Amino acid sequence: MELALLGFSILLLLCFLGFPLGFTTLFVGFVGFAYTRDWNFHAALTMTGQQVMETGANYGLSVIPLFLLMGVFIHRSNISEDLFRAAFAIVGARRGGLAHATVLACAGFSAVSGSSLATAATMTKVAMPHMRKYGYDDRLSAGVVAAGGTLGIMIPPSVPLLIYALVAEQDIGKLFVAAILPGILLIVLYLAAVWASVTRNPALGKAGERLPPAERFAAYLRVWPVLLLFALILGGIYFGVFAPTEAAGIGAMGAALYALARGYLRSVRTLYSILIETCRTTAMLFAVIFGAQVFANFINLTGLPYQIVDVVNALHLGPIGVVVAVCAVCIVMGMIFDASGILLLIVPVFLPTLQALNIDMVWFGIVMVVVVEMGLITPPIGMNVFTVRSVMPDIKLGDIFSGVIAFVIADAVALALLIAFPIIALILVS
């Protein structure tokens, strides 16, 4: 166990020094494996090569670049502004309506991007100017954007859920379906958090003007193709019409046709830039996956996962106690790493313990995503908070953290409900 903890310590140190997570995990895993084999670097190199080849040849991973491509197509179609406008048409005339609209727009954008940081960065540019125009307090404005961005890792198609399916060897389609109701629950709780904030202090967010019926209809009309594409993907998976990989291909093609119809895909140069952006994002993500797989092999060789099983049995924690303990670890790690990194590092360590306790791994995956969401906005280091700050540097960091407190509480309520009532995540799957 000491060797595994030393490896994690070195990993954290290198990440704090600014080294990329993918190469850091690969380096620590490679050197650690060689050390356990009496500094046999040939064995470590062989293991690393085999692990990279086997992971890269996994057909199930082809779903990742396809969903990423779908997200880039729709993102380049400037859908974020349209989603915000449509959400504003629904709830903008209420007190705190712009903040409510931001939550709904983040949910819609998350459904097609699958990325928390991308959602936070994009919606900061879209929603913050509107909220400042109506005199919204920066604490509420920045807080709702940072928190709304976390919906990107829950609402399918979600890249972290894809990563979890790979590591835990679970069905991607079941995870996507299981995430639907928890995603809706989180949206409702975030809307409730906004309502509670503006009810307690009405000065935080005033009501906007009510749009004329014609403008509301025009706003709805511009976003229905994306909502239809989202329903097609999830509906096809849920009813067994096509597999997740086929759904990803259909989504990418549908998004390309949408971009073409909107006039954002009229040249080969534009298509080339979209493909390059997708390739870069895929390469960065796969670097993290490869490195984490090598690091997981090193951790398994130290015996840490099985020692954790012995500790759990000795302490008589039980299934719920183990899940709560894992959640606490993930919240802390969520302040430092992104969602994919946490899942790739933590799940392999606790997987034998969870399987020994007969914990439903689909339900646990949903719980893990909620926990990671909390970590992304939890002080003192919340990645989404710093993402919003990087886009709007004139906002004080303390104001953003103050604004996300209500949403951290909402995440905690969602987590408690999911742990107390697993049926929320499992009813559609069963």
- Cβ-based burial of 386 (10 A; exposed 0-12, middle 13-18, buried ≥19): middle
pTM value is: 0.82
CA quadruple 424, 425, 427, 428: dihedral positive or negative?
Answer: positive
341 closest CA partner among 375, 308, 364, 300:
375
Q: Quick check: is 323 in a domain? A: yes
| Domain count of the fold of the chain | 1
CA distance 105 to 119: 9
Peptide bond before residue 380 is cis, with ω within 30 degrees of 0: yes
Q: How crowded is the C-beta side of 353, counted as CA atoms within 13 Å?
A: 30
Nearest Cα neighbor of 346 from 89, 222, 163, 215 is 163
What distance in Å separates the CA atoms of residue 97 and residue 91, rounded to the nearest whole number? 5
Question: And the tokens for 18?
Answer: 């600014």
Parent domain of 262: 60-426
Question: Which has the closest alpha carbon to 286: 344, 245, 337?
Answer: 344
* 188 Cβ contact list (under 8 Å, min separation 6): none
Helices 138-149 and 180-200 meet at what angle, rounded to 10? 170
Question: Residues 220, 89: contact at Cβ < 8 Å?
Answer: yes
Residue 264 lies in a domain: yes
Contact 150, 376 (CB under 8 A): yes
Residue 33's nearest CA partner among 16, 20, 19, 46 is: 46
pLDDT in tens, 278-288: 888 888 888 88
Is residue 313 a part of any domain in this protein? yes
| Cα-based angle 103, 108, 112 (whole degrees, multiple of 5) | 140
Locate tokens 């119809």: which residue? 261
CA distance 114 to 111: 6
Any domain includes 41: no
Q: What is the DSSP letter of 59?
A: G
**Is 185 part of any domain?**
yes
Dist. CA 62–CA 55, nearest whole Å? 11
Residue pLDDT tens, the chain, 430 long: 678 778 878 887 887 777 887 788 888 888 888 888 888 888 888 888 888 888 777 777 788 888 888 878 877 777 777 777 788 777 766 777 888 888 888 887 776 666 676 777 777 777 888 788 778 888 888 888 888 878 877 777 777 888 888 888 888 888 888 988 998 899 999 999 988 888 888 877 776 677 777 777 787 777 788 778 888 887 887 787 888 888 888 888 888 888 888 888 888 888 899 889 888 888 888 888 888 888 888 888 887 777 776 776 677 777 888 888 888 887 777 666 667 777 888 888 888 888 888 888 999 999 988 888 787 787 766 777 777 877 778 888 788 888 888 888 998 999 999 998 999 988 988 7
Is the CB of residue 28 less than 8 Å from the CB of residue 298? yes
